[in-house]
Structure 1
Amino acid sequence: MKTLQQQLGTYGLYHRSKRNVLTHFFGIPLIVFAALCLLARIQIPLASVVIDGAQLFVLASAVYYFMLSISLGFIMGVLFTLLLVAAQPIAAMAFWPWLSIGVGVFVFGWVLQFIGHYYEGKKPAFVDDLIGLIIGPLYVTVELLFLMGFYKTLEGEVNAIAGPTKA
């Protein structure tokens, strides 16, 4: 498994344009939220407990993020849990409203992503490596943390791999 720095640096190679990163600040959370809305309708019975697909996704994602970084795993776990809580009322809607909102938000999030990659002039990272789909939410989170002045050492390590950002 690649290190946190390798994962973020590789993903960053596809995201050097500030306009691309900006579209990702909105697009990626929308995609994750929509996926959670859609996955929450999948019921998985485990002994006397029933979990849903969204809960399983959040748990698996948090475990992966914790393997990369304890502190970032915690942050991502909290963020994904907040999105999960917000997704539950939509998952509880009747079929057509649930599906319309879930698919609509998902498509809108991807439209934002592709607009960003138009500005970037590069294809999305997941085209070359599917792990980019799970690194994307972590990447936008650390980019926000970098802007807030946190994780300066990590920022330097990521930029050493990905190179400087451009306008």
Structure 2
Amino acid sequence: MSSSLFDVRKQLAFYGSYHSHPVNVFIHIFGVPALLWSALVLATRIPSPSFLPEVRYTFNEYLVFDMNTPAVGTTLYFVYYFILEPIAALLYAPQMVVSLLTATAYASRPDGIRDAIIVQVVSWIAQFLGHGLAEGRAPALLDNILGALVLAPFFVHLELLFMLGYRPDLHKQLQNDVGIEIAKIRKEQGEKRRLADKKSS
């Protein structure tokens, strides 16, 4: 496994190069958490691995923690985020727990799965519009689907933290890294256009 998978600057520079336009960032701030939450709702329908222990904790009549597929996925996401940026991951943990608990609770509603599918469709449409109209390029998932789907929630979380003044040194480094990535992409796109023009002429 490449060490770059655990390099926060490289991973966020990759993702950030696809999300530099303010309109697209704004869409993602709302759309990505909605996608993650609705994905957790849908994941409740995936049978839990047989090796998982049976763990159940009832907070109240609405919120119940089960060691199920969404819980495993949330845990894996958190571990990865913690490796990338520990403090930011710990700050994100409460939101992850609330998303997990509310998604699990909502999945038990008669119309829960249907509503989650609607949220997925609407959110994905918004994401693609944000990329197509604001960024002028395809989403990151078309180049690295795993990285895009895993990094998206943490990227949005860090964007909000940066707005609040979290680690300005890291923020500046990432802005520089993203600028370099975008410059490379534009250069590659320009070369492709020139080659296409030569072939057509």
For the 8 Å contact 1:37–1:88, the answer to whether it is kept is yes
Equivalent position SS for 2:67 = strand
The RMSD of aligned alpha carbons is: 1.8
Instruction: Point out where structure 2 has 5 or more consecutive residues left out of the alignment.
Output: 56-65, 183-201
Partner of 1:100: 114
Partner of 1:153: 169
After TM superposition, list the pairs within 5 Å mapping 1:40-79 onto structure 2: 40-44=44-48, 45=50, 46-49=52-55, 51-79=67-95
Q: Which has the higher contact order (CA 8 A, sep 6+)?
A: 1
Q: Of 5, 9, 34, which aligns to 2:13?
A: 9
1:125-153 deviations in whole A, cap 9, x for unaligned? 12111211111111111111111111211
| Higher Cα Rg, which structure | 2
For the 8 Å contact 2:29–2:156, the answer to whether it is kept is yes
TM-score (ref. length: structure 1): 0.90
Distance 2:171 2:121 in 1: 30
Equivalent position SS for 2:112 = helix
1:33 aligns with 2:33: no
Distance 1:136 1:65 in 2: 11
Q: Of 131, 144, 147, which aligns to 2:160?
A: 144
Poorly superposed stretches of 4+, deviation over 3 Å: 47-50
Aligned length: 163
TM-score (ref. length: structure 2): 0.75
Distance 2:12 2:95 in 1: 18
What is the identity percentage for the equivalent residue pairs of Structure 1 and Structure 2? 30
Instruction: Point out where structure 1 has 5 or more consecutive residues left out of the alignment.
Output: none
